[in-house]
């Protein structure tokens, strides 16, 4: 774990902070923010001079440094003033942290660009600052990356928004870490430990089923995938009850496939290492549950993670095998590499059978096809409830995490019916592979629960670097969207 841990507010004037660096902003039409103007006056007009010479244009992420005897000032480009929304603020926060890390600066003070009319904008600033400071260097002994960014003070910010943003971003950093850890570190056992740690920090009941209990409970699909590996599988349930007893709970289900070799239908070797990221759906659930454990909203939320490896062992299940899921449906395995939908079948039928849900969401690196359709920028979504889909899209706009809907029409749903079992784990050939995944999952949600499936196989890692994004590796995308949707 390496990211900014402290984002605090001060109502003192800038001259009284003892941070090494003070950050102010400039917009793309070269107008300075209010504190920017004050600093410019303090420095005898050199900032405006630099701007008039074209040395400082205000483009997003562009920055210049100025000095007096006691201070270092960073002027950060904020882009056009009329497009300065939460996402622009988040990006500015990310850029500031990246400049600080590159300059080996450990503490800084930053003006609250939003002048704090909107709480959510201070939240976005804190998110950007923390997310931009994230580095994954745990496995490199004696790394020479320089010191971490330790503390940021925001001048005249909104304390509540800042704290909330930092807590949410810490959840995202947890998800990035779990995703980036290799399969021999982020095992099902490790995911279970994280769930227990989160549950122990607040009033959240965490139940972990092991291999025997998974079989006993009738989770034949998860058990079937797990039987090819000696690594102990886990079925993790996190029960947060912050709301009234009669408030229907929301279920968050995440694919926790800690390494996907494809099984007997083995994957090609090139880039197979990336299949350590196949648990990024479960990392979303853990990231959200961690943020919830701190923010304690008046909601009831259930996090469920089916977790195992998908390997080839003497006991591994084979193409043609038939498994029985928790809801009693039988599944013909036509490709052991379509294992994510199998373990989710048990998890989705478990939550829908045992709770009367408000709605359910699942997150899964489910299909390579979604990457072909949408690339790394966007998460594919589909579901059974138009109103819930609309709300997901609204939250997506609020948080800047892009989603795009696929249809789950009957024609597609027909394609997962099997000739000798109830369903099969493939659609028709190579066509509409992402929808086939969703159509299969739908069989295990039933008709009574509003549900949206997030196929994060493109967006969970490999994204082009954003100001608040990682250089490479897991992104932790969609956690912010879920927290917005929940209304935390």
For residues 277 and 179, is the Cβ–Cβ distance under 8 A?
yes
Q: Per the residue annotation, which of 341, 424, 466, 480 is the catalytic one?
A: 341
Which of 93, 111, 89, 109 is CA-nearest to residue 156?
Answer: 111
Where helices occur in 110-154 by DSSP H, the ranges are 119-132
- Shortest spacing between CB 249 and ligand BES, in angstroms: 28
Residue labelled with tokens 């841990």: 5
Question: Angle at Cα 467 formed by Cα 465 and Cα 468, nearest 5°?
Answer: 95
Minimum CB distance to ligand BES smaller for 40 or for 415:
415
466 part of the active site? no
479 binds ligand BES (CB under 6 A): no
Q: Measured from the CB atom, is 384 or 459 closer to Mn ion?
A: 459
**Is 104 known to be catalytic?**
no
DSSP class of residue 484 equals H
Contact 109, 21 (CB under 8 A): yes
Determine, following the binding rule CB under 6 A, whether residue 474 of this chain makes contact with ligand BES. no
**Of residues 332-361, those binding Zn ion (CB under 5 A):** 340
CB nearer Mn ion, residue 231 or residue 339: 339
Judged by CB under 5 A, which of 260, 332, 415, 455 binds Mn ion?
260
- The two tokens of residue 461 are 């890692």
Paired tokens of 334: 């036509």
The binder of ligand BES chosen from 110, 305, 369, 481 (CB under 6 A): 369
- Token digits of residue 226: 């797990």
Nearer to Mn ion, 339 or 346 (CB): 339
The least CB distance from residue 339 to ligand BES, in Å, is 5
Q: Which of residues 248-307 bind ligand BES (CB under 6 A)?
A: 260, 278
C-beta of residue 342 within 8 angstroms of C-beta of residue 225: yes
- Asked if 104 contacts 147 with a C-beta cutoff of 8 angstroms, the reply is yes
Provide the pairing of β-strand 330-332 with 322-324: antiparallel
3-state class of 29 per DSSP? coil
Residue 335 binding result from Zn ion, Mn ion, ligand BES, none, given CB thresholds of 5 to 8 Å by partner type: ligand BES
Q: Does 337 bind ligand BES (CB under 6 A)?
A: yes
CA distance 171 to 1: 11
Of the residues 121, 194, 337, 415, which one makes contact with Mn ion according to CB under 5 A:
337
Please tell me the count of residues contacting Zn ion according to CB under 5 A. 4
Q: Is 362 in the site for Mn ion (CB under 5 A)?
A: no
Out of 367, 399, 475, 477, name the contact with ligand BES by CB under 6 A: 367
Query: Going along 103-193, which residue ranges are E strands?
Result: 107-111, 151-155
Binding to ligand BES (CB under 6 A) within 397-436 occurs at 426, 433
Q: Give contact residues for Zn ion (rule: CB under 5 A).
A: 257, 260, 278, 340
Q: Give contact residues for ligand BES (rule: CB under 6 A).
A: 260, 278, 335, 337-340, 365-369, 371, 426, 433, 457
Task: Just list the catalytic residues.
Answer: 267, 341
């Amino acid at each position: 774990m390496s990211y900014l841990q402290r984002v605090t507010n001060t109502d003192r004037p800038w001259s009284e902070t003892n941070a090494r660096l003070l950050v102010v902003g400039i917009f793309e039409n070269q107008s300075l923010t209010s504190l920017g103007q004050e600093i410019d006056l303090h420095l005898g007009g050199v900032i405006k001079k630099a701007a008039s010479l074209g040395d400082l244009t205000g483009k997003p992420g562009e920055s210049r440094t100025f000095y007096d005897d006691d201070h270092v000032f960073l002027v950060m480009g904020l882009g056009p003033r009329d497009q300065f929304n939460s996402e622009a603020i988040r990006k500015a926060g990310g850029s500031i942290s990246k400049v600080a890390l590159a300059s080996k600066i450990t503490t800084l003070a930053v003006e609250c660009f939003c002048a704090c009319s909107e709480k959510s904008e201070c939240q976005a600033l804190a998110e950007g600052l923390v997310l931009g400071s994230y580095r994954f260097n745990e496995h490199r002994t004696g790394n020479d990356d320089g010191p971490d960014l330790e503390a940021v003070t925001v001048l005249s910010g909104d304390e509540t928004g800042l704290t909330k943003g930092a807590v949410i971003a810490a959840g995202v950093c947890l998800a990035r870490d779990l995703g980036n850890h290799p399969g021999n570190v982020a095992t099902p056992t490790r995911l279970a430990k994280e769930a227990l740690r989160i549950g122990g920090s607040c009033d959240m009941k965490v139940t972990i089923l092991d291999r025997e209990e998974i079989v006993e409970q009738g989770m034949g699909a998860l058990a079937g995938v797990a039987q090819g590996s000696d690594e102990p599988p886990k079925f993790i349930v996190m029960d947060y009850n912050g709301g009234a007893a009669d408030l229907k709970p929301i279920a968050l289900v995440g694919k926790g496939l800690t390494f996907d070799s494809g099984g007997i239908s083995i994957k090609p070797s090139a880039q197979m290492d990336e299949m350590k990221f196949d648990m990024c759906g479960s990392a979303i659930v853990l990231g959200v549950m961690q943020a919830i454990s701190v923010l304690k909203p008046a909601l009831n939320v259930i996090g469920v993670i089916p977790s195992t490896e998908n390997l080839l062992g003497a006991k591994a299940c084979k193409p043609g095998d038939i498994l029985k899921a928790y809801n009693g449906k039988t599944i013909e395995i036509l490709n052991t590499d379509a294992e994510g939908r199998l373990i989710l079948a048990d998890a989705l039928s478990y939550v829908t059978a045992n709770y009367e849900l408000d709605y359910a969401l699942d997150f899964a690196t489910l299909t390579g096809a979604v990457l072909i359709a949408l690339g790394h920028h966007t998460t594919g979504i589909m579901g059974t409830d138009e109103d819930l889909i609309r709300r997901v899209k609204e939250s997506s706009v609020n948080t800047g995490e892009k989603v795009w809907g696929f249809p789950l029409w009957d024609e597609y749903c027909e394609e997962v019916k099997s000739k000798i079992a109830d369903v099969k784990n493939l659609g028709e050939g190579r066509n509409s592979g992402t929808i086939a995944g969703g159509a299969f999952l739908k069989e295990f949600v039933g008709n009574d629960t509003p549900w949206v499936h997030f196929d994060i196989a493109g967006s969970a890692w490999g994204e082009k670097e954003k100001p608040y994004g990682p250089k490479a590796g897991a992104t932790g995308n969609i956690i912010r969207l879920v927290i917005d949707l929940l209304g935390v």
